[in-house]
Chains A and B, each alone.
Chain A
Amino acid sequence: MKRVFPIINLICLGLFLLMVSACGKRTAYTPDQPYWKDNDTVSITEPVKRSPSLIWQLTERTTFRQAEQLLDLNRSLGKISGNPKQSWNINSYDEVPNSSWFTNRHGLHGMDTEALQAGMAVTSGPDTTGKWTVFRPKVGGVTAGFWIKDAKGDAYILKFDPPNNPEMATGSAAITGRLLYACGYNVPQETITSFHPDDLVIKEGVTYKEDGRKYPFTREKLFEILEKAYHNEDGTIRCLASLALPNIKGPFSFSGVRKDDPNDWCRHEHRRELRALYVFCSFVNHWDIKDENSMDIFADENGSRFIKHHLLDFGSTMGSAGHGSQSPRSGYANSFDLRDAIVSFFTLGLKKWQWEEAKPYQYPSIGYFESEIFHPAKWDPIYPIPAFENMTNRDAYWAAKIVMRFSDEDLRVLIEVGRYSNPEAREYLFQTLKARRDKIGKHWFSKVNPLDEFQLIVREKALTISFTDLLRKYGFDKSKSVSYRYDLQHMGKKIVSGEANATPEINITHVERNLLIKAFQEANQDSPDRNLFKISIRTTRDKEKNSRPVHLWLWFHPEDSRIQIVGIEHVD
């Protein structure tokens, strides 16, 4: 037995080293980078519609996947060694290229007020000048709804506010839809409008299913559905009209790939926009995020037919649970949270969860939505989402940057879309979103070295690299002094090092630049990394220990002695 132990130890050590070494990958940097678009919109054969089982997903995600992830040595050792698997689809600037999943909008380019308020806009909303024809009812379930066609022939799904919470579900859905669109996701067009029940006509021959049997859909049944909705005093009903998505192919999964889509190259749990969706969902308390609230469509754009991926159904966000207010627990624990249950079990129920003493909500139009006990890293969706569970600090930092791009003014603009009649409710919502936004920024910016917006400035023969310290930019850093230490390396050899105090700028003098050129000239001509230089910057705040580094990759063009930033890496 004694002989076996050293061998086992050796194997374990070997496996650990293998794992650690396997995590040390970096992107290969070349002068044609960064890429800003993934070529995943190539025409494909039309896939079949998927209908996954909700019960199975809930079971699988809550139990089996948890066990599998724990026993996955690659994943577990990666986490232990501080080298979790990074997202596959980032570009060399640590950003996400546009794709059939995501389009850089407010985060990179900024959107104006009009664009923020419009969100995804294909039509101007349902035509209210004519009658609406109900062609498919939604019977059963806790929320009311049905499909209509307006006079122009556009199809919409109508969703309503619960009787005790006017403006709540429609308002939160309209705001969240636009916010996620601005973040970069594909969402359906959603418009708040109102109608009078007399303006509805039922298409001939429409039936509905109840108790396994088909019945003709009558006007009485229509009014029965509408009873679940809040009615305005003038008899009209406020609704959210969601433009029906065409050619739907079922929801996407937050893990794996869609096998009948050759464009789907990246496992979904390793897509940054899906991993970091956690941050956006935590921002707006999109507790109901799950596979079923997504939709793939077979799009036909620019002569290409491909799968395009959407998020949908935002009626259970912020303080709304669709049929009523959110429970105080929603957002602070999964629908069934094994971890919390175990803690409660062993503490004999004496552990007090913060949400247990939640105050009743103030505004029926907002529901239970708060910012005091909200913690950006402790937010929980309805059930564990594989992509969220793989999110790294780098992913979250990327998303937090986008969240912070929503200025106070932007938030007010978005809240306007909710058409809340009570100004106090609007103000409460603004203050809550603002506080949550700031908590998100402060938390995730502190998890990496939050230096960004790098710029290369050539002044005569010297070089200045300027950047922004996001913790300082948004006022989250209250330290009295800050300094930025940097090392410039070439092929693993340090050439220049220095420190910038207070000003986020690295100045490479003419002499130092010559050292850089000299290093290039002396390097092996066949080496692919000959043109590549790395600057590692660490931040020290109030003389406390150095932060993790940000690596800046520079490409030296010998033909005109030009230097180009080809890569940015925020080390996790």
Chain B
Amino acid sequence: MKWLITVGVFIVLTGMLISTATAKETGSESPESDSVAVRNPEAPRHSLGEVLLDIPSFIIKTPVYIVKGVTNGIIHGVFESPVKRFLNFGNPYSLFYINAGYGSNKGISTGTGFGLYHLFVPEDKLKLDWYYSTKNYQSYRLKYTGTNMLIRSGRLTLVGEYKNRPRESYYGPGNNSQENHACNYTLERTRIVGDFAFPVNSYVTLRFMTGFTAINIFDGQQDDSEGRIDSIAAKFSLPDTYFSSSRVVTLGIGIEKDWRDTAGQPSRGGRYSLITSYNKGVGRSNNLSFFVTKFDGSYFINLFRKRILAVRFIAQSVDNTKEDIIPFYHLSKLGGRDDLRGYRGHRFVDKDMAMVSIEYRYPLWKAIDAFLFLDEGRVFDDIGDDLTLEHWSESYGLGMRIWTEHAIVLKTQIAFGGYEPRLYFEMGANW
């Protein structure tokens, strides 16, 4: 102990002694002919005190140096190096990007994306992206979007995708389902969709959709909850067809009205869409047929100085035209990043659903907002019969959005209300 104090005091005194030494200016022996005194300057030497303090400084700054080094490498690697040119394949209308994310179910996902622009007509784009996650989630998608297609101002979107999600959860039907009754299953979906949007005027758009969706349900891969499809059905006393795979052809029509001032950060106006689709089972699902009708409306009020109140209302109804049981994954769902955010994805499942969200958005910076939100929602067996103030679940939280005039670029939010807080991080959100 004594020797430590002695060494400490020695260091202090030595440092003080040396550090008070002055940094000398070295004067020129012979000033210039114009009699201006010229200095041969040299940087002041660091005192012992400064040198000694630099050691702990360096140690505590090391994590910053590491992150800085990695970021520097990424920025120079992506934006400044010939790699960028190589990835663009010399085509100014192409884009290569990293596809990464995190979800509590899927784990860390990584993948890539590649886009080609101005392919067939001006302003069209073709994007191919994929990811694979640490928990075996995988997705592959090819998407083509073209404007001025078929007719003037018409927008055609064609999507082909395959997804495999081996750790999805099911909690039982209705609002009384329990979080601790969670079972898990694997959902494999292959989908081909065509969507043609035709603007009637500058606000109103008509949409026509068609597609084919094949969904397979398998046993889940999560170790800590029930994962066998047959025993899940038994557990909830539900028929096996409720968990069966399906092949469905969809034909839909919709109308959209969008009178927001901007898409990325609307401060005035609103937007609604009403879409109804007829879904007919084919092949092994020949007996399946149902209608899905969904209303999604939002309205924005500029309270003061771009402090915005945003209100959203969603309602969906799924009606079967025959007596057949509709598999649960085609029913209305609540929970997850787009609706009842404090709850796990698809936490509540039933035929119909309704929810209301209120957000208070306020600017942090030019294109960065923060927001507080409150969601209220519930599912119904029949919304016409059960629409009461009971059994509504709520969630609340806060988040941040980075936006451009045309779209939300990045959105992160934390939500409460369910079993545990939910953290979301998404790119290109629509609300």
Contacts and interface: CB of A to CB of B under 8 A. Distances in A.
A353 B49 CA distance: 42
Contacts of B43: 88, 265-267
Interface string B26-42: 01100010001111111
A92 B60 CA distance: 36
B384 interface: no
B92 A26 contact: no
Contacts of A213: 92
B19 interface: yes
B364 interface: yes
B358 to A, nearest CB: 14
A562 interface: no
B47 A22 contact: yes
B53 A56 contact: no
A292 to B, nearest CB: 14
A341 to B, nearest CB: 4
A359 interface: no
What's the dominant secondary structure at chain B's contact region? mixed
Interface stretch (B71-79, B204-212, B246-254, B331-339): B71-79
Contact of A74 (B36, B41, B53, B307): B53
A341 B25 contact: no
Given A39-B39, A265-B41, A18 B25 contact: no
A220 interface: no
Interface residues of B, number: 64
A122 interface: no
B57 A72 contact: yes
B364 A67 contact: no
Interface string B297-334: 00000000101000000000000000000000000000
A1 interface: no
Interface string A406-444: 000000000000000000000000000000000000000
A555 B363 CA distance: 60
Most buried by A among B11, B53, B88, B362: B53
A475 interface: no
B44 A88 contact: yes
Contact of B49 (A19, A89, A341): A19
Contacts of B72: 56, 60
Interface in A423-480: none
Given A3-B1, A24-B20, A72-B57, A64 B75 contact: no
Given A24-B19, A265-B42, A341-B364, A35 B37 contact: yes
A77 interface: yes
Given A37-B39, A266-B41, A17 B12 contact: yes
A204 interface: no
A11 B55 CA distance: 13
Contacts of B68: 60, 64
A336 interface: yes
Nearest to A3: B1
A53 B76 contact: yes
Contact of A341 (B22, B24, B368): B368
A533 B305 CA distance: 61
Nearest to A257: B43
A340 B15 CA distance: 39
B53 A77 contact: yes
Contacts of A350: 362
Interface string A244-280: 0000000000000000000001110000000000000
A22 B54 CA distance: 12
Contacts of A40: 41
B44 A344 contact: no
Contacts, number: 180
A27 B20 contact: no
Interface string A39-51: 1100000000000
A14 B13 CA distance: 9
B389 interface: no
A39 B90 CA distance: 49
A55 B20 contact: no
Contacts of B12: 13-14, 17-18
B27 A73 contact: no
B188 to A, nearest CB: 41
B25 A33 contact: yes
A357 B306 CA distance: 12
A337 interface: yes
Contacts of A560: none
Contacts of A3: 1
B52 to A, nearest CB: 6
A39 B28 contact: yes
A35 B57 contact: no
Contacts of A212: 88, 90-92
Nearest to A42: B40
Interface in B80-131: 80, 88, 90-93
B64 interface: yes
A36 interface: yes
Contacts of A10: 4-5, 8
A345 B365 CA distance: 10
Nearest to A7: B4
B410 interface: no
Contact of A18 (B4, B53, B80): B53
A518 interface: no
Contacts of A37: 32, 36-39
Contacts of A72: 57, 61
B372 interface: yes
Contact of A71 (B16, B19, B25, B61): B61
Contact of A59 (B71, B362, B363): B71
Contacts of A356: 305
A14 B38 contact: no
Contact of A344 (B20, B76, B364): B364
B79 A53 contact: yes
A38 B41 contact: yes
Nearest to B34: A37
A36 B25 contact: no
A377 interface: no
A277 to B, nearest CB: 19
17 contacts: A14-B8, A15-B52, A18-B19, A27-B25, A28-B22, A34-B37, A39-B28, A40-B41, A68-B64, A73-B54, A97-B39, A212-B92, A265-B41, A337-B365, A344-B362, A352-B305, A357-B305
Given A13-B12, A25-B21, A92-B25, 7 more contacts: A33-B37, A38-B38, A38-B41, A336-B366, A340-B365, A344-B364, A348-B372
* List of 9 A-B pairs having minimum Cβ-Cβ separation, nearest first: A349-B362, A18-B49, A35-B39, A22-B49, A211-B92, A22-B19, A21-B16, A18-B15, A14-B12
Interface of B: 1, 4-5, 8-9, 11-12, 15-16, 19-25, 27-28, 32, 36-44, 47-50, 52-54, 56-57, 60-61, 64, 67-68, 71-72, 75-76, 79-80, 88, 90-93, 305, 307, 360, 362-366, 368, 370, 372
